[in-house]
């Protein structure tokens, strides 16, 4: 799940693949929905969105293999910091299970329709929403909208949206957020009259990992050959060391988007593979509590100028016990969604991936959050064009909705995917909640 790599492993900890891609690169992410809606309310209107812009050129990525950092128990290692300060980590216990999987790619190519650029304000709540529609029915989604998405239905999105396909989508994923603000095109493309008008941007933030990868020549966890080692050995140490600079880059994106987004909705998928920074292979691992405190500081940095922005917490399918001992360390009231990112997922399985034990329903129940799912993008961003057909099957989608999934992002759909979506919408149940 990290900036520029897909997850495919079944270990306790997933590495991310490849050297960092240039900021603004496209990655697979998911879109989704917010909290429960009160009954009897009047649905508020949402702002019209548009699109456009050119993508900044992408960087090359290292795609060589390697082994992920080993796992292990982590000692309590210090108290979590308060406020915007980074909580420092302690020493890790030796031994433990070794993660055998993780990401093995360097990220997707950039979407020519999405460039970096200025930004805008928070989400327009648009008033209270009515419940409308028939829960569990097959009307294709006619309930009143939530405060994030303009329609109450299962949501489709992609990293490559253009032409007639746009009319069938609810969201898109621009290039991942890799540093200081450079995504003005997200604002221009979603503004009235833009090429992606009406779509909600789902922006994957990868600033912390990308910053230390660039500065200290680190590889992702399962990639060898970088002079500085990898994120599973030195990630937490260097992020702690450069915390002030990382927070500054987060604040830059908050200010930038607030200046140009005009109050339209935006979702931030926060820092893929955050779980790796408590691993036993880290030189200065965080405790899980410190990981939670540090994540709160990053969310608050983005909320500083975007108080109504919507946030999603990353899912690493190899976390044991459906994340029961992980997510309790986070202030989940800050998050509307949880999301997969980068690696493929199973539409026809109760497990997120067949080779991991985490289930869709299990992690949704543990967190109390709906899931934004994605199909992954393959090693080195080289996934073949064409969507994952299992996520086009209404029976699979309806089953996953019962497990808490509210959206799917197809990385590189075929030219006819819009027709496919239109043909299956009438067979999809209305979600129990609107977001």
Residue range 117-145: average pLDDT? 36
In contact, 8 and 103? CB cutoff 8 Å: yes
CA 28 – CA 287 distance, rounded (Å): 29
pLDDT one-digit tens code per residue, 336-353: 999 998 778 999 999 999
Mean pLDDT, the chain, as a whole number? 75
pLDDT one-digit tens code per residue, 253-281: 999 999 999 999 999 999 999 999 999 99
pLDDT band at 167; cut points 50, 70, 90: very high
CA 125 – CA 204 distance, rounded (Å): 22
Q: What's the structural domain count of the chain?
A: 1
More confident of the two residues 52 and 324: 324
pLDDT one-digit tens code per residue, 105-121: 333 333 333 333 333 33
* Model confidence, pTM: 0.71
Which is it for the CA torsion 357, 362, 363, 367, positive or negative?
negative
- The dihedral over CA atoms of 139, 140, 142, 147, expressed in degrees to the nearest 10, equals 150
- The dihedral over CA atoms of 103, 108, 114, 118, expressed in degrees to the nearest 10, equals 40
- The dihedral over CA atoms of 228, 174, 151, 435, expressed in degrees to the nearest 10, equals 20
pLDDT at 189: 96
Residues 6+ apart with CB under 8 A from 310: 34, 123, 148, 265, 266, 267, 268, 336, 337
pLDDT band at 296; cut points 50, 70, 90: very high
pLDDT at 320: 97
pLDDT at 82: 38
CA 42 – CA 181 distance, rounded (Å): 36
Let me know the angle formed at the C-alpha of 194 by 370 and 202, rounded to the nearest 5 degrees. Answer: 20
List the domain range (segments joined by +) for residue 202: 1-435
294: number of CA atoms within 13 Å, CB side? Answer: 28
pLDDT at 223: 84
CA 209 – CA 360 distance, rounded (Å): 26
Report whether pLDDT(40) > 60.
no
- Angle between helix axes 231-241 and 207-216 (nearest 10 degrees) is 100
Residue range 360-374: average pLDDT? 98
DSSP annotation of 99 = P
CA 268 – CA 142 distance, rounded (Å): 26
Residue range 408-429: average pLDDT? 94
In contact, 290 and 77? CB cutoff 8 Å: yes
pLDDT one-digit tens code per residue, 225-238: 999 999 999 999 99
pLDDT one-digit tens code per residue, 200-220: 999 999 999 999 999 999 998
Token couple for 19:
């050297």
Helix (H, G, I), strand (E, B) or coil at 181: coil
pLDDT at 106: 34
CA 292 – CA 294 distance, rounded (Å): 5
In contact, 396 and 390? CB cutoff 8 Å: yes
CA 200 – CA 173 distance, rounded (Å): 9
Helix (H, G, I), strand (E, B) or coil at 433: coil
pLDDT band at 323; cut points 50, 70, 90: very high
pLDDT at 42: 35
Report whether pLDDT(20) > 70.
no
Residue range 152-174: average pLDDT? 93
Residues 6+ apart with CB under 8 A from 318: 9, 10, 11, 12, 13, 14, 99, 101, 356, 358
Pairing of strands 155-158, 171-172: parallel
For 93, the enclosing helix (H) or strand (E) is none
Helix (H, G, I), strand (E, B) or coil at 11: coil
Residue range 272-301: average pLDDT? 97
pLDDT at 377: 64
Residues 6+ apart with CB under 8 A from 313: 270, 295, 327, 330, 332, 335, 337, 338, 339, 367, 369
pLDDT at 424: 98
pLDDT at 222: 75
Residue range 194-204: average pLDDT? 95
pLDDT band at 387; cut points 50, 70, 90: confident
């Amino acid at each position: 799940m990290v900036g520029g790599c897909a997850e495919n492993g079944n270990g306790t900890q997933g590495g991310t693949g490849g050297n960092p891609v240039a900021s603004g690169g496209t990655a697979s992410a998911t879109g989704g929905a917010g909290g429960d809606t009160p009954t009897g309310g009047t649905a508020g209107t949402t702002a019209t969105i548009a699109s456009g812009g050119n993508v900044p050129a992408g960087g090359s990525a290292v795609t060589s293999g390697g082994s992920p950092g080993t796992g292990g128990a982590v000692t309590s290692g210090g108290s979590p910091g308060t406020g915007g300060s980074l909580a420092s980590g302690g020493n890790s216990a030796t031994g433990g299970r070794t993660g055998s999987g993780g990401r093995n790619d360097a990220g997707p190519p950039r979407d020519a329709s999405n460039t970096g650029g200025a930004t805008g304000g928070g989400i327009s709540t648009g008033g209270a929403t009515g419940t409308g529609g028939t829960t569990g029915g097959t009307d294709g989604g006619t309930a009143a909208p939530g405060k994030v998405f303009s329609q109450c239905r299962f949501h489709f999105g992609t990293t490559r949206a253009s032409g007639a396909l746009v009319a069938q989508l609810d969201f898109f994923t621009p290039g991942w957020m890799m540093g200081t603000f450079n995504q003005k095109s997200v604002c221009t493309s979603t503004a009235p009259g833009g090429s992606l008008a009406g779509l909600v941007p789902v922006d994957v933030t990868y600033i912390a990992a990308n910053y230390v990868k660039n500065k200290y020549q680190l590889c992702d966890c399962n990639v060898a050959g970088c002079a500085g080692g990898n994120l599973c050995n030195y990630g937490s140490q260097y992020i702690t060391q450069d915390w002030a600079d990382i927070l500054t880059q987060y604040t830059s994106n908050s200010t930038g988007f607030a200046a140009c987004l005009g109050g339209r909705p935006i979702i931030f998928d926060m820092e893929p593979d955050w779980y790796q920074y408590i691993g036993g292979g880290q030189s200065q691992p965080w405790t899980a509590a410190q990981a939670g405190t540090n994540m709160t500081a990053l969310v608050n940095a983005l909320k500083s100028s975007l108080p109504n922005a919507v946030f999603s917490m990353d899912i690493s399918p190899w976390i044991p016990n459906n994340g029961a001992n992980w997510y309790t360390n986070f202030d989940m009231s800050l998050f509307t969604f949880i999301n997969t990112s980068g690696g493929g997922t199973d539409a026809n399985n109760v497990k997120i991936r067949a080779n991991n034990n985490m289930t869709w329903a299990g992690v949704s129940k543990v967190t109390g959050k709906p899931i934004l799912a994605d199909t992954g993008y393959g090693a080195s961003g080289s996934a073949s064009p064409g969507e994952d057909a299992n996520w086009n099957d209404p029976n699979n989608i309806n089953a996953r909705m019962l497990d808490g999934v509210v959206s799917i992002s197809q990385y590189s759909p075929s030219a006819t995917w819009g027709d496919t979506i239109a043909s299956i919408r009438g067979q999809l149940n209305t979600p129990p909640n609107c977001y």
